[in-house]
Each structure stands twice: as structure tokens, then as C-alpha cells.
Chain A
Amino acid sequence: MADTKIAAYICRGCGLGERLSTGQLAKIAEKEGKAAIVREHDFLCSEAGVQLIRDDIEKQGATHVAIAACSRRAKTEAFHFPTVAVSRANLREGVIWCQPDTDAAREATQEMADDYVRMACDELKRMKVPAGNPDAARLRRLLVVGGGVSGMTAALEASKAGYAVTIVEKSGALGGWAAKLWKRTPAHEPFREPADTGVAALVAAVEADPNITVRLASVIARTSGAPGRFSVDIAAESGATATEAFGAIVQATGFTPYDAAKLPELGFGRSPNVVDQAGLEALARAAAAKGGPIRRPSDGGEVKTVVFVQCAGQRDDSGRHLPYCSGHCCATSIKQAMYFKDANPAVDTVVLYTDLRVPGNGEDFYRSGQSKGVVFSKGQVSAVEPSGDACTVRFRDLILDEDTAIENADLVVLATGQVPNAGVDIDQVPQDEPGQWRPDSRSVLNLAYRQGKDLPLLRHGFSDSHFICFPYETRRTGIYTAGPVRRPMDIAQAVEDATGAALKAIQAIENAAAGRAAHPRSGDLSFPIVRLEGCTQCKRCTVECPFGAIDEDEKRYPVFNESRCRRCGTCMGACPVRVIAFENYSVDTVGAQLKAVEIPDEFAEKPRILVLACENDAYPALDMAGMQRRVYSAFVRVIPVRCLGSVNTIWISDALNRGYDGVMLMGCKHGDDYQCHFVKGSELANYRMSKIDDTLKQMALETERVASYEVAITDIERLPRLIDEYAAKIGEIGLSPLKGFG
């Protein structure tokens, strides 16, 4: 600590000077915070104020800077001093803006500010300036797995941005499913006619691009490393294997149509005249090759009536088939009905649907189908009964509410859904022990990661991604999914998806090269540092890391891969022996803050409530509550955390031992429709806190003294209410009996 020189700055702007005794704050910074330099300023974020700080750093040798002014979320550019450790005491949003400007409130308001200054100074003492990732590497080369429309689009987009690409395609040709279509649904104005698939042009562009290498009939045998330095074994059907290095990976492995053989009640397999949508595309291509109309498969007879059965084996709530909607199938059926109507308007085409869903500009296409005389009937099909060369389609007419049938259908087309090609479900298969890793032929990526060979899935076999905020991100940093492997989609959506994924992959390469975190802590240079000599090989960090960033060596010690890390601190929260820390965020930095708070004795009738608030949603929501001047209890002391997943239970027991009367944990929503920026952090925190009751009982404390909340960034009105309700509850159960012992 010899080279630590703390400088503390107390801002008097934005009303701070009128509402608070800044002189008292300065005294606290100096006496208790041990700040060598303490300055008050009327307008700290002004050019002059910032220059003052800069001068202290450059000329006075300040190494640690405590800024007691506004929230750490405000004035980030002005207070950006990358060469020193910086802490912020939130006196504006967190104190004067959330407390009433009354004489009665004056004392409690000042106490809040006093504590935040103490906390900022004590936090600082435990902080270091992050040195950056020593393991940074930059390979400006992208691996795209899958040579369909999504994969080719991602490759072309990355190439255009100046990155070399290798496409690995399992089959013998580029094109994927789209190459098997006769036409595609239109992607351009006026969205009326089926359009050329565009696959040939895409393939030609890929083949002509000197930046793109295509490896057909090849699969991934092994993927190891991290963003910026992935090492990938590419195994060709011929048996040859090549090892190549990539900076990032886009997985665009597409989908397989749901197996229509599982739908015998809809006639599939019982008559060649019942086909799925892929089957109809094949018929259309065959007919076009011959230059004639689509004929009835059973006898080559003329097709006069075609029935399209929507939601065949999907949107199923019986549990037997796909529960979800595949999104593209209604428009696909409209397109296929047009194959017939455009060739011969006298052909009857009936689409039986329960809800017609045509996302994007599909509405115009739907109208076009109606204009061409495609008949749409709202009906639930119960059976398709083949008899000779005809089929009877029985259905419940949902408008007329009656059972009815279409007789003599020459062709019945089942709109089955998309099943993602996502490899193995790593939660369902056992993992190889360290040192025993073997490739799995069912796997797409064959990741040599401790947590499994493929990307974690969310629901229905689609890969997990943060749907609301970061749709392309998977739970493996530097690996992005695009197209129907991510969620069901059509060609137009897949193209957009692939473009987005390619750009995210490029971003990952550049971040890795600079040793920086990817989202959501973009730019963060800190990374977890483990004190291996204290490690008990408990494996909690390797198991719980939401991003599979930590491998194990053969002695079961954790091996951190910094570039795979998102810097959430979930490992730090998990570690029972607390040997994991970031240079600027650790068990100590938070512990020091909560210990810095002055706990009034039991006779003062002033409870203290510790709030550990997620910096992504809860903390901004509290700031916004302040901006709206929403008042909440002055008894709380808020510490932002990177994620509730980073909360180590030692903080809770330390706080309670010191005499805090309650602890509120505010994190994001967890579960399948999670909002957690680190996917699993809030869920793990919730799990850990479910075990805290035992600890409380051991300490002879009421279970209410620790409370967890799911909070969204929009909870601006709700949060102050939650705080006040909790403060009232503490009032009811009384002050902590542990005051004065800490």
C-alpha cells in the first residue's frame, strides 16, 4: 500500500452544497478515509473540476480517486481516469434526490452522505487499476459452421468487413434448405409473388470471394481455446483432419423439418399424396424440370384440389409434438398454393389454419394469395384419410363451429415445423472427465470445454441467447448463432440474423485482441484472478460459470480462459474459500464498503439496511427513482454489484454480524424468460440465498433479515415502495440484536 495515494473530491454542484455539509464530508474523507488530498469543488464535472483531478493525478501523484458527486452512471466521460483506480460516492441520485428537502430529514440525509463517502474511500483502498488480459490474441479469421443461407450470408458480410472466413459444411454442397426450395417467399416490394431463392447467386458470390474458404463434406472434430485464439480440428469425410485457428465462430447449422412420419393421423406415410412442405418443394422442382404442372404422386394424375394443413405437429399442447410455432410455415403454404394458382387458377387451394401468422411483410403476401383465389379457412384438422388416389381432410370449422370435410383432395401438404440442429444437449449428457475428452459424432462444435461440447440450450432445443438485449450472444463468448438454430425463422429473418451475428463475431475478435470484455461489460479490462494455493478444487466455479469460461486441469484446479469470461463475478460469488477476485471488484472491495458504514447503536433507533443492487437493472432503476425525486427510506445503504451471481454469502454474514438490521438483494428476473445479463447469475444467487435461512437460524436471526427481489430497470416506482415496505417490516421485527458485537 506504500504507493497508494488517495485523492477525494466533494462536489457542491447540483444542489449538493445546499443540501449537505460538504465540509463535514471532506473531514470524513480526510480523517476516516485517509485521503491525502481532499478537495471540495462547486462544479466538479466542469472542465476546471476535471482538470483539478487530472493535475492531482499527474502532478501530485494521486493513485486512487474517490469522487463524491453523482451516480457512477452519470458523467462517465468527464470522470474517466484510466490510469488510476476510481470510486464514486453517489450523493446526488442516491442521497439528495431521493430524500426530502426538509429540516426533519436533514440529519438522516447527511448520515447517508457521510456513509457513502466512507464507503467510496474504503472501497478504493482495495482496488487496483486492471492491467488487462495478458492472454489477449487476435486472429482476424472467422469460422462459420453451416453453408446454408445463414452461413453464407455471415461469411460474405464478414468478408466485406475485411475478415477472412472458413465455411465448414457437413454436406457435399453449399445452399442448405433454401437450395431445396423451388421458390422462396418474397423479400422485396410488392411482396406479392414467390421469388427466386437467390441461393445460386449466394453460392456464386461465396465461391468467387477470395476471403472465403469452403470446406465441404466436413465437420468439426474439436474446438478449444477462447475468442481470438480458437483452435479447431476440421475433419473431412475423406478422413483427413486439419487444425485451423480462428478468432470467433458463427454457428449457422439450421434446422431439420419435423418428422412427418410422427403424424400418421394426418395421412403421412399412408399415401404418397400426403407430403410435408419440403416434399411439395421437391414435387415443384421435379415438375418445373419437366416443364409441366405438379402431378399427383400416386398416379401422375391431374391435381384439382390441394389442401394445406397448418400447424401439423406444431403448436401442440398434448406434449407429443412441437409446442412452438415455426413462424415461416403460413407464408410458405401461401407460396406453395401460388405454385398451383399461378400455373392454373382453376386449381382449388385451401389453407386450413387456426391462426394465420405471417410476420414481417407476410401480410401483403397473404393478401396476394387471397387475391389469387387461395381459400383460407379457419379450421382444426382432425384427420386426413387417404382412399385410392384421393384424400378426405376432416376438420372442425372454427368459425361455423361444425365438423366438416374436404373430399377428393388430390394433394395434402402438412406444414410441419423447424427442429434446430443444435448438436447435443449438454445438460442431458455426461461430460468427459478432464484428460479423457473424446469427440462426439452428434456434436456440432465438439467444444473441449469443461461444461460440454455444444452451446447451452434454452427451450425446445434452441440455443440459449439473451432474447431481449443480446439475441446473437450465446453462453459461449466468441461463438454466435444465426438462423433457425437460434429460433424458428424464414430466409429473410435468417439473412438479417446472419448479418448481426457476423458483426458480433467481429466485435468479439476485436475485444479479445484488446483484452477487453465482451458485452455487457464491454471494455472492462479486469478479469478473474485466482489464488490457486488457497483453492480446494471444489469445482463450483467451473460448474457455475454461465459461460463455460473455466476449464479444469487434470488435478481439478480451475483453468481460467480470460477471453471467454464476461466478468460477471459468478465464480467469485460461488467460491467458498474466496480465492477469486478482480483487481477492481472483489470480496474485499464490497466487504470494505459494507464495513465502512457507521452502524448506530441500538438506542439510536436508526436501522441500517444493506442493499446489494445489480448494476444492470436495479441500480439504474434506483438512480432513475432519484431523478424523478421519488423518496425512499434513508436507512438504506446501496452497493452496486456486477450481478447478483457475484454476491458471496460472506457479505451477508459480515453485514449481519456488524449489526445491519436487514439485507435486500436486488437482481434480475430468472427462469426461462430470464432478464439477467449474465443469464444464470440471478438464478444462482437465488439458489444460494435459498440456503441462507440456515445461516440466519445459526445466528439466531429472523429469516426476514435477508430478502431477495426480482427487479426490472423499469421498476422506478416499485423500488422505492419495496424499500419502504422492507424498512417498515424491519421496524416491526425490531432492530438487530447483533449491534455492537461486530
Chain B
Amino acid sequence: MPGDAGMGDMADLNERALAKYRNDFLREVEERVDEGHWVKMCMQCGVCAGSCPFGPHWEHSPPKIFLMIRAGKREAVLTSDSMWMCTSCYNCVVRCPRKLPITTIMHGLATYAQRLGLAPKVQPTRDFSIIFWENFTRTGRANEMRLMLRLWFKEGFAAGVKKALSMRDLGLAMLRTKRMSPLEILGGHGVKDVKGFQAMIRKAKEIEDRRRGLSG
């Protein structure tokens, strides 16, 4: 399911989006990004940027991203590393005087960038996000043990072993305190109706793609 669209499909999607919206990136965002219709309401006060725990690590702060969207800087926005810096702390959301759901918009921009294949290739949160999605949609529930192993070994076996060794103190502690179970590697817990669960997600994606003009 995660590999719904291969690289070729992504490039194709991007080409079609460019053709459809030409220079109107704001409209593209409004139609295709979660809560994108809020972007135009930003008044550039900067409170969100100043409230972000990872603020210094954002190359483009949220108000900048909103401004870039309005200025049609499509590629700069979608290839930006910044949205992936969101920790989902919602501090910006509660402080925004215009009540923009900034967290959701940032997630939505990341989703869209990923969908078009424009998201930065080397981005640890992007990797984690994909792995997490695959992890919990496989059984309906997140499997922490498998998640950790996938993460550690994502750059190959040797790197994984090294990472696992560096984490062994913590791992042992988690085992000792019964907050981790090696048995989870073998399938682990999940929903009973995995089939229905996955079918409904497929359907949701299909509906959303249709609504957003992203269907093939």
C-alpha cells in the first residue's frame, strides 16, 4: 500500500499539476493540501515562527512558507526540508491570531510534496513517517519493536547492527522494565479485521485523490 505510486507516477503527477495550475501555486495548495485554503489568511505576524520549538532548524518558517506559496515559489516550497521539522506540538496553532491550523497545513504540504516526489530524499523524519505509516497500516496497530528495527536497519545491515549495539543499554532497560517485548517481532498485536481496515484506507485515498484531482 505505501508504494501506491512509483517514481514514474510521481513525476507524472507533478507534470500534470504544473500543467493544470501553471503559476497559480496558491490555488494548487488550496485545492490539494490539507487545510490549504487557510494559507491566504496568514497576516505575516511571525508568532508561529517564534513559538516553534524547532524554529531555528526551519530554513523557511511557516509565515515564509505561506508567503512563498502566495508568491508562486512552488519548487522551493515543495522541496523544502522545513515542513518535516514539525514536532506536532501545536504551539503555533494556539498562538496564531488568525487561527490557522498551521500544524495540519505543514503536515499537508509534506504529504503533498511526498506525493509528487519532490520531498527531500535525505530526510530522517520523512523516512520515519513512511516507515510509521507502513508499520501501523500493516496490522492496524503500531508495532514499536518492528518500528525500531526498521529504523535502525534502514541504511543497511551493518549500520543497523551498529545502531542496535549503541542502543543496547536502553533496549535491555526496556526489556527489564517489561516495556518492550521481543515477541512483537513475530507479527505482534494488531486488529482482527486487517482486511477491512486496509480496504477502508484504500478507499479513503481513492476518494481523496478524486476530490483533489490526483487520480490517474
B-contacting residues of A (Cβ < 8 Å)? 356, 366-367, 370-371, 373, 375-378, 397, 399-400, 404
Contacts and interface: CB of A to CB of B under 8 A. Distances in A.
B71 A377 contact: yes
Contacts of B26: 373, 375
B141 interface: no
A249 to B, nearest CB: 43
Contacts of A367: 41, 98
- Majority-rule SS of B interface residues: helix
A378 B42 CA distance: 12
Interface string B108-137: 000000000000000000000000000000
Contacts of A377: 67, 70-71
Given A375-B26, A375-B70, A377-B70, A370 B64 contact: no
Contacts of A400: 64, 67-68, 71
Given A399-B63, A400-B67, A356 B40 contact: no
Considering residues B67, B68, B98, which has the most beta carbons from chain A within 10 angstroms of its beta carbon? B67
A399 B62 CA distance: 11
Contacts of B41: 367, 370-371
A373 B40 CA distance: 7
10 contacts: A370-B43, A375-B26, A375-B70, A376-B44, A376-B70, A377-B67, A377-B70, A377-B71, A399-B67, A404-B71
A371 B40 contact: yes
A579 B210 CA distance: 94
A376 B43 contact: yes
Give me the 8 closest cross-chain CB pairs, A-B, nearest first: A399-B67, A375-B70, A370-B41, A370-B40, A378-B44, A399-B64, A373-B40, A399-B44
Interface in B8-53: 26, 40-41, 43-44
A378 B71 contact: no
A399 B67 CA distance: 8
Nearest to A367: B41
A65 B168 CA distance: 97
B64 to A, nearest CB: 6
Nearest to A406: B71
Contacts of A356: 43
A698 B71 CA distance: 73
Contacts of B68: 400
Given A399-B64, A404-B71, A375 B44 contact: no
A371 B26 CA distance: 12
Contacts of B43: 356, 366, 370, 376
A45 B70 CA distance: 71
A370 B97 CA distance: 14
A378 B70 CA distance: 11
Contacts of A397: 67, 71
Nearest to B97: A363
Contacts of B71: 377, 397, 400, 404
Nearest to B98: A367
Nearest to B69: A375
Contacts of A375: 26, 40, 70
A376 B42 CA distance: 9
A7 B53 CA distance: 76
Contacts of A378: 44, 67
Nearest to B23: A348
Nearest to B30: A373
Given A366-B43, A371-B40, 5 more contacts: A370-B40, A373-B26, A376-B43, A377-B70, A399-B67
B31 to A, nearest CB: 13
Interface string B77-108: 00000000000000000000010000000000
A400 B66 CA distance: 11
A366 B41 CA distance: 9
